[in-house]
Structure 1
C-alpha cells in the first residue's frame, strides 16, 4: 500500500511539472485545452483534479493583449513582457531560416546572430537541444524526431509576424 502512495505522489509531481511546462511553452486559453495536452502526454486526469492542480500552482489568467486570456504561472507576467522583447530582437535580426534535419540554420544581419540566438534560447523550446551563434548565422540542433517543419510551426506560434514559408 505504501508503494502505491509513493507512486501517486510521483505521478502528481510529474503532472504538476508537465502542467508548468505546457503553460510556459504553449498559449493555453482553457482547462479543456490544458487537459487535452495532459492526456496527450499520457496523464489520466479529471477536470476536478486539474482544477486543484491549477489552484496549487497558483495559475492565473492574463490578457493576451487582444481579446482573449491565457493561463500564466506566478512570475510569468515579467517573462511574458521579456518574451515581447525577445520576439522583437528575433524579428529585427533574422534574414532567413532553412533546415536540413536535424539542423536549423538561421541567417541574420551582421552582428545580430547573438541577439537572435539569445531570443531563441529564451523561448525555451523543447524541440531544440542547443544553439551556436556566429557573426551572422545560427545553428540550432533539433532533438531526435523533430523536423524543421515542426520547429517552424512552433516558432510561428511564438512569432505570428514571422515572414517565412
Structure 2
C-alpha cells in the first residue's frame, strides 16, 4: 500500500507540474520517476484521483486535478521526488507588521497550519490561500525575529 500511496503522490505532483495530455505521456513520466505500471493501473489511479482534462493556456488538452481547471502550472526542472522533499517555500516579503510568504501551488495551507501550531511568539496568526500565506507579526517584532521563528517550520527559509 505504501508503494501505491507514494505513486499517487508522484502522479499528483506530475499532473500539477507538467502538461501531460495522454496516458502514454503520464506512463513515461511515471517511469522516469521509477514507477513502471500498466495502462489499466494508470486508468484506475486517474479515476481515483478524479483527474480530468482541461485546455491549457496553449490550447492543448492536459490532465488536471479536481478543482484545478484554472490551475496555474509551475514548470519545474526537478523530479517529482525532489519536489515532494522540499517544503514548498518560495519567498517571504515584509511590509510593516505584515509578511507574505509565497509557496508552490497547494502548499500554503499546510505550511500556515504548521506555523500556527508551532506557537511562534512573534507571529499573531496566518491566513492561507493556495500559494500565498499572509502573516501578522506582533508589535515591535523585527523581521529577523520572525525569520528565526519560522526556521523551525521552514528550515530552508531565506530573506
TM-score (norm: length of structure 1) = 0.45
TM-score (norm: length of structure 2) = 0.47
- The structure with higher relative contact order (CA 8 Å, sep 6+) is 2
* Higher helix proportion (structure 1 or 2): 1
